[in-house]
Amino acid sequence: MTKEWDAETYARNFNFVPEYGQALIDILAPQAGEKILDLGCGPGALTAELAAKGCVVTGVDADANMIALAQKTYPNITFLRRDGHSLNLGVQFDAVFSNAALHWMKLDDVFPQVAKALRKGGRFVAEMGGFGNIGTIENAIYTALDKLGFNRADFPLPWHFPTTAEAAQKLEQAGMEVRYTHLYDRPTLLSDETGGVRGWVKMFGRAFVEKIPSLQQDKFLQLIETEVRPHLFKDGKWYADYRRFHFVGVKK
């Protein structure tokens, strides 16, 4: 991603991200007093949920805007600007928690960092986009680029959605035992406030939009919307074709 996130818009219009994260907290089953690292904490909503359960929580995110908003909103919680590829926190946690963030990172680099941050027997509980996530939107993005005459090679994917086998292998290689995996379809309603699929692409597909001349950006978004409409517009509402992946790893 070439620019920092618009944290205020993200927190206001895409609050389905932390809302769906409640199920992940149930999987984590946090206990009062546990030291927990929230990796890719964003504006800090789920970090605050963990703190409210009596956990000693540290939220980290690579984006300065996200950390600034989190600190402003939850001043009594520790938030640090850290890149998941090089955490270097000097602390071992009982658990590392991550919701909807890992698909923006390189798992080969991040998983060993998580293992270092965990005590022996500590658990890594995470949710991310799984293989096939937003396949319809992704295909529409490249179809739109083709129609506008751009070279696909100049627009690499900013995300990576692993298969269950791939993620499990990387967890094992990082020194963690895989205890649980679950890949499932989760069509996700995009409320009017999000701007539908156009708004989704403007927020999460910025790596594509920013490379297109400003005079062609609206046409680009229009082409994407037209392409996905038969699949993602139902009963007057827009949906994103999410496939989500939950997993739990335990440090050996």
Q: Global pTM?
A: 0.92
The pLDDT value recorded for residue 9 is 73
CATH class of 7-251: alpha beta
Instruction: Give pLDDT tens digits for 58-81.
Output: 999 999 999 999 999 999 999 999
**132-152 core/surface letters (b: 16 or more CB in 10 A; e: else):** bbbebbbebbbebbeeeebee
Contact 107, 131 (CB under 8 A): no
Mean pLDDT over each residue of the chain, to the nearest integer: 94
Distance CA 145, CA 130 (A): 24
Average pLDDT for residues 38-56, to the nearest whole number?
A: 96
**pLDDT at position 13 over 70:** no
**pLDDT at position 12 over 80:** no
The pLDDT value recorded for residue 164 is 98
Average pLDDT for residues 146-164, to the nearest whole number?
A: 98
Contact 227, 144 (CB under 8 A): yes
Domain positions in the chain: 7-251
102 vs 76, 99, 126, CA distance in Å?
A: 26, 8, 8
Average pLDDT for residues 26-47, to the nearest whole number?
A: 96
The pLDDT value recorded for residue 2 is 43
